[in-house]
């Protein structure tokens, strides 16, 4: 955008430098209404100080023909934004064209001025014969004013992203200023939320995690800003300033180019396909397990704060967390930890108790955290021996205590277990009880604790409901009138697919004989009726926690964090049953990394492992939660994509392949190393009705891709038999 500033005072003539701080603009400045200069500039918008404009108006009113050359008629000017001291000026009195011109009352922020200029240019373009803007706000890297590179920052790859980010910050500042005057409208609120939310996603995908979190916090505050207190407004202002500072001083490592390559591709794909029918399953079935898989670092991603001066251990934990899409921040001092907690709320904290360079210890910070939020899980670890620290940590509400030295894997295992305890409300519970009063009581109790259980009373429909819901825990009633819980429990245990499903039985009698029958039927636990709520909920949480821990250990590939082959086989078979009943397609996809053996041979297995993690990371940030993503073995990955035909899946995988091809592996190699993959896709039911047939069809398609040059997708249905 070309902007001409017409001003005489030092304050307003400094506008070009102010605007250049966050915008790439072509900006000029003159000190009088000189027609020739204005026309020569061919500006998209003219910003004029009231003192200059008033002189022009008086000249016209006095009929001063001598000044006509320096006071062009309004209709010959580009859109004008007038800088005025008047609280409520009359545009007609000022000589403005209300159809295209605008004014702004001093004092103002550069963000407010930018918004007024954009509106004026847009309005002018909409008029008959109106001018079109020469270039958009975010364009022209070669503009006359270059403000993108902060002092000492040579990360040129960030320049276009920083430009866009700074523009969004200006908009947020303008909206905040409006908020402080109490005149913010609902559309403006929605604009603020959209700008901050989009900015958070972009920054996260670029690896600017600290800045992304500020943007997330700003999003949350704007969602409730209609009732913000003065203190909250101040907090919002501080967060915006911290966001600006973080962006202006940010750099990106060459090894983080996967984020650079994926940031725009993922966002564009998400916007393009947000309303696609393959994403509508969640709304149709009201089942959060079918929500789209998180992209980048989403707003609802797990936030981990590590407070420890052992950087080596912390980085090892961070690496394990990244594979599992856990967003990590590291504070090496208690002061840094307090600063981080001030701006965002972590979901879990790993806290070392020993900081030798300060008089404080971790227990004081633990006490502060417990006052801020009693529900925040904190795991402490220390190299000191003895019972005292354990007791103090337990009294202050710590959820775990670990003794150093300890491996990163051990820390992460405990952290995962604690997180699962706090996320029990995401679990799916199926309650099979025919007594209406008991069923209603259970529903109210479970709802009060954050669960959304599925309740059923007809034993004839039990098996269909079980397979459709695929619950994380099953509750049965021994005293049901038709088919009692003991019988249903035995039926469930006879099917290998449900052998690990936690089952709790409700029983009126708890004598020795009944307890023996309960466990003989295969139940994991029992609860006596009438139900005692505290005991009942404690047993549910305990069963869910143990089940999740065992599932994580048994069903997750340790290297990539994806599902392993055994679990994927069971999951895909279950999806096939579901697809058969609902007449839906499924895409079965095999892809493996091209020339993976060459990578291992040339650079070593550590680089090969990083290549596998790299591919897994891209998978986890491209597909939905309901999609089965598995490492099948070696460099071979398998996907099961429900309600997605082969052509739809090919489009999604094309985005993944572009992301991999245009990014580099985070590994120490002589030169940046990228990977490509070959893909074969088979579709249920066109290419097969069971897993074996689909695998063979997809494998043939994969072979076709590899034999025809690699780095391509082949569909089984397009190949000749």
Q: What secondary structure, in 3-state letters, does 649-712 show?
A: HHHHHHHHHHHHHCCCCCCCCCCCCCCCEEEEEEEECCCCCCHHHHHHHHHHHHHHHHHCCCCC
Q: What is the pLDDT of residue 151?
A: 28
pLDDT of residue 115: 66
Most confident of 265-279, 320-334, 519-533: 519-533
Q: Which long-range contacts (CB under 8 A, 24 or more apart) does 603-609 make?
A: 603/667, 603/669, 603/673, 606/667, 607/665, 607/667, 607/668, 607/669, 607/673, 609/559
Residue 721 scores a pLDDT above 90: no
Q: With bands split at pLDDT 50, 70 and 90, how would you rate the model's confidence at 664?
A: confident
Give the lowest-confidence range in 255-259, 526-530, 672-676.
Answer: 255-259
Is the fold of 2-126 the same as that of 428-555? yes
Predicted local distance difference test score (pLDDT) of residue 102 = 79
* DSSP tally for the chain: helices H, then strands E: 27, 20
Distance (Å, whole) CA 477 – CA 431: 9
| Tokens linked to 444 | 């109210």
Per-residue confidence band for 286, with pLDDT thresholds at 50, 70 and 90: very low
| C-alpha radius of gyration, the chain, whole number | 31
Distance of alpha carbon 317 from alpha carbon 302, whole angstroms: 14
CATH of domain 2-126: 3.40.50.2300
Alpha-carbon distance of 196 to 211, in angstroms, equals 11
pLDDT at res. 629 = 94
Judged by DSSP in three states, 102 sits in strand
Report the pLDDT value the prediction gives residue 284, as an integer from 0 to 100: 31
The reported pLDDT for the residue numbered 431 is 94
Instruction: State yes or no: pLDDT of 551 exceeds 70.
Output: yes
Highest CATH level, class, for 565-718: alpha beta
pLDDT in tens, 697-710: 999 999 999 999 99
Least confident of 94-103, 296-305, 486-495, 643-652: 296-305
Sign of the alpha-carbon dihedral angle for 56, 58, 59, 60: positive
Mean pLDDT across the chain: 75
Q: Give the per-residue pLDDT at 650.
A: 94
Mean pLDDT for the stretch of residues 606-622: 86
CB 17 within 8 A of CB 56: no
Identify the residue whose tokens are 């082969």: 646
Q: Which helix (H) or strand (E) holds 103?
A: strand 102-105
pLDDT of amino acid 697: 96
pLDDT number for residue 359? 72
Q: Find out whether 318 and 310 touch, Cβ atoms under 8 Å.
A: no
With a cut of 50, say whether residue 717 has pLDDT above it: yes
pLDDT higher than threshold 90 for residue 647: yes
Structure-model confidence comparison of residues 678 and 544, the more confident one: 678
How far is it, in rounded angstroms, from Cα 230 to Cα 536? 44
pLDDT of residue 71: 46
Lowest mean pLDDT segment, chosen from 142-146, 379-383, 458-462: 142-146
Separation CA 116–CA 119 (nearest Å) = 5
More confident call, 64 vs 459: 459
Q: What percentage of the chain carries pLDDT values higher than 70? A: 71
Most confident of 41-50, 122-131, 290-299: 41-50
Nearest Cα residue to 624 out of 279, 280, 302, 318? 279
Burial status of residue 195 (CB atoms within 10 A of its CB: 0-12, 13-18, 19 or more): buried
Closest CA to 415 of 541, 543, 310, 321: 321
Closest CA to 591 of 633, 533, 560: 633
Does 651 have pLDDT greater than 70? yes
Segments making up each domain of the chain, as ranges = 2-126, 156-290, 302-406, 428-555, 565-718
Q: Is the pLDDT of residue 198 over 90?
A: no
Q: Is the pLDDT of residue 626 over 50?
A: yes
Output the pTM of the full model: 0.46
For 156-290, CATH gives: 1.20.120
CATH architecture of the domain covering 428-555: 3-Layer(aba) Sandwich (3.40)
pLDDT mean over 579-607: 92
In this prediction, residue 200 carries a pLDDT of: 77
For the ranges 75-84, 316-325, 649-658, the lowest mean pLDDT is seen at 316-325
Q: Which residue has the higher pLDDT, 255 or 159?
A: 159
Per-residue confidence (pLDDT) for residue 254, from 0 to 100: 40
Beta bridge partners of 302: 326
Angle, vertex CA 676, rays to CA 673 and CA 680, nearest 5:
165
The listed range with the strongest mean pLDDT (68-82, 263-277, 634-648) is: 634-648
> What CATH class has 302-406?
alpha beta
Q: Specify the pLDDT at position 288.
A: 30
pLDDT digits (tens, 9 = 90+) for 55-83: 555 454 444 434 444 444 445 567 888 88
Ranges 271-280, 329-338, 485-494, most confident = 485-494
State the average pLDDT over residues 548-554. Answer: 76
Report yes or no: 15 and 49 within 8 Å, Cβ to Cβ: no
């Amino acid at each position: 955008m070309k902007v001409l500033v017409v001003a005489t005072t030092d304050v307003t003539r400094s506008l070009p430098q102010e605007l250049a701080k966050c915008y790439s603009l072509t900006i000029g400045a003159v000190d009088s209404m000189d027609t020739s200069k204005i026309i020569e500039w061919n500006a998209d918008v003219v910003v004029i100080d009231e003192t200059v404009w008033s002189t022009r108006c008086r000249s016209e009113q006095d009929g001063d023909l001598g000044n006509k050359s320096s006071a062009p008629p309004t209709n010959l000017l580009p859109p004008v934004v007038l800088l005025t001291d008047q609280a409520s000026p009359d545009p007609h009195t000022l000589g403005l064209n209300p159809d295209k011109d605008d004014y702004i009352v001093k004092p103002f922020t550069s963000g407010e001025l930018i918004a007024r200029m954009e509106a004026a240019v847009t309005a002018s373009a909409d008029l008959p014969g109106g001018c079109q803007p020469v270039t958009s706000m975010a364009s022209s890297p070669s503009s006359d004013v270059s403000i993108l590179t902060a002092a000492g920052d040579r990360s040129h790859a960030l320049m276009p992203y920083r430009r866009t980010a700074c523009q969004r910050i200006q908009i947020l500042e303008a909206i905040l200023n409006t908020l402080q005057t109490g005149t913010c409208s609902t559309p403006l609120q929605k604009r603020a939320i959209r700008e901050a939310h989009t900015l958070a996603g972009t920054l996260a995908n670029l690896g600017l995690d600290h800045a992304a979190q500020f943007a997330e916090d700003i999003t949350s505050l704007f969602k409730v800003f209609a009732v913000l207190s003065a203190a909250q407004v101040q907090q919002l202002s501080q967060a915006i300033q911290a966001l600006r500072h973080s962006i202006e001083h940010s750099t990106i490592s060459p090894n983080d180019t996967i984020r650079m390559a994926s940031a725009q591709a993922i966002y564009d794909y998400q916007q393009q396909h947000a309303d696609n029918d393959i994403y509508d399953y969640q709304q149709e079935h009201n089942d959060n397990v079918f929500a789209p898989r998180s992209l980048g670092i989403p707003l609802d991603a797990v936030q981990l704060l590590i407070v420890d001066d052992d950087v080596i251990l912390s980085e090892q934990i961070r690496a394990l967390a990244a594979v599992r899409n856990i967003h990590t921040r590291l504070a090496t001092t208690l002061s840094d930890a307090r600063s981080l907690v001030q701006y965002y709320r972590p979901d879990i904290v790993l806290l070392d108790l020993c900081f030798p360079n300060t008089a404080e210890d971790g227990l004081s910070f633990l006490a502060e955290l417990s006052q801020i939020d009693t529900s925040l899980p904190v795991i402490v670890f220390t190299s000191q021996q003895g019972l005292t620290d354990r007791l103090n940590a337990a009294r202050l509400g710590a959820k775990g205590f670990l003794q150093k030295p300890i491996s990163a894997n051990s820390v992460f295992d405990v952290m995962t277990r604690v997180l699962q305890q706090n996320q029990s409300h995401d679990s799916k519970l199926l309650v099979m009880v025919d007594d209406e009063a008991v069923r209603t009581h259970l529903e109210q109790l479970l709802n009060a604790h954050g669960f959304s259980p599925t309740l059923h009373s007809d034993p004839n429909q039990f098996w269909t409901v079980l397979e459709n819901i695929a619950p994380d825990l099953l509750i049965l009633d021994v005293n049901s009138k038709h088919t009692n819980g003991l019988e249903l429990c035995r039926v469930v245990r006879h099917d290998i697919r449900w052998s690990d499903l936690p089952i709790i039985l409700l029983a009126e009698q708890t004598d020795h004989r009944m307890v023996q029958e309960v466990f003989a039927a295969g139940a994991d636990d029992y609860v006596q009726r009438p139900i005692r709520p505290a005991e009942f909920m404690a047993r549910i949480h305990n069963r869910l926690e143990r089940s999740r821990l065992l599932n994580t250990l048994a069903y997750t590939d340790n290297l990539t964090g994806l599902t392993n082959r055994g679990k994927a086989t069971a999951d895909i078979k279950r999806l096939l049953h579901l697809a058969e009943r609902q007449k839906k397609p499924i895409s079965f996809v095999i892809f493996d990394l091209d020339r993976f053996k060459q990578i291992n041979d040339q650079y070593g297995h550590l680089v090969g492992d990083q290549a596998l993690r790299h591919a897994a990371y891209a998978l986890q940030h491209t597909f939905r939660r309901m999609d089965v993503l598995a490492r099948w073995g070696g460099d071979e990955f398998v996907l099961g994509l429900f309600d997605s035909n082969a052509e739809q899946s090919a489009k999604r995988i094309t985005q993944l392949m572009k992301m991999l091809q245009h990014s580099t592996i985070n590994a120490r190699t002589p030169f940046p190393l990228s990977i490509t993959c070959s893909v074969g896709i088979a579709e249920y039911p066109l290419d097969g009705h069971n897993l074996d047939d689909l695998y063979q069809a997809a494998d043939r398609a994969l072979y076709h891709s590899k034999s025809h040059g690699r780095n391509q997708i082949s569909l089984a249905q397009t190949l000749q038999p």
